[in-house]
Amino acid sequence: MTDKIKNSYHTSKNFYDDILSKKKWWSKLYLKLFWGNTDDTKIAQNMLNYIPDNFSGKLLDVPVGTAVFTAEKYSRLKNANITCIDYSQDMLEKAENRFHKKGLNNIKIMQGDVTCLPFETESFDIIICMNGLHAFPDKEKAYSEIFRVLKKDGIFIASLYVAGELKSSDWLVKNILARKGWFSPPFETKEEVKQRLTHKYIILDFHIDGAMLYFRAKKVKEDIF
């Protein structure tokens, strides 16, 4: 990953949460104009509902971002062992502050790169990747590392931008978000994501909301990308 990506999240740290959670009038307008009024809060809630509150295994959240959607859920996962990674130290600091305010002590926070995860093979029962795959420059390595550290029969939950679903989103990503470093090409279509997953996973859920895709899949194979 490049300094361009790190810098992009440094400059956006003060308005990142507002955009995702529609807290401001301009963020509502932005989402309506460019994302078809996609509801990121609803997508996040649907994804987190895949994880039962009594989950007691090991969970990896990469990238954790600011934990704007996940902090409340993690406060209910009292028996889980949670590891949160992000490339951006700015995002991590905001996430850590949220976890601290909730008094969470079962979460380990680490700065790191998804293309080189510092964990043994088959370490996690669940991996959640919220709004990350469209930001990772080396997508092949990111998918490979996620697959590697996920246990057999483990659950992979993710959301990402997919190309070809909404012209306004495609324009925004190509002309602004990718140039600024928030998103990184190449961008997959929903068909390409589905094809990729079927080589390694059983797809349990697969949904499109505007230009955003979210899914839940179970790892079933041991071969290598």
224 within a domain of the structure (yes/no): no
33-91 tens-digit pLDDT: 778 878 888 999 999 999 999 999 999 999 999 999 999 999 999 999 999 999 999 99
Higher local confidence (pLDDT), 40 or 166: 166
15 within a domain of the structure (yes/no): yes
192 within a domain of the structure (yes/no): yes
Q: What is the dihedral of CA 112, 115, 121, 124, to 10 degrees?
A: 60
Say which CATH number the domain at 77 has. 3.40.50.150
Q: Which of 213, 211, 218 is nearest to 197 (CA)?
A: 218
The number of domains in the chain is 1
225 within a domain of the structure (yes/no): no
pLDDT for the residue numbered 13: 47
Task: List Cα–Cα distances, 109 to 27, 66, 88, in angstroms.
Answer: 28, 12, 12
59 within a domain of the structure (yes/no): yes
8 within a domain of the structure (yes/no): yes
Task: List Cα–Cα distances, 67 to 2, 148, 159, in angstroms.
Answer: 22, 24, 15
60 within a domain of the structure (yes/no): yes
Q: Residue 73 is part of which domain span?
A: 3-219
Cβ atoms of residues 143 and 225 within 8 Å: yes
Is the confidence at residue 15, as pLDDT, over 70?
no
42 within a domain of the structure (yes/no): yes
Task: List Cα–Cα distances, 215 to 50, 104, 178, in angstroms.
Answer: 10, 27, 23
Higher local confidence (pLDDT), 38 or 210: 210
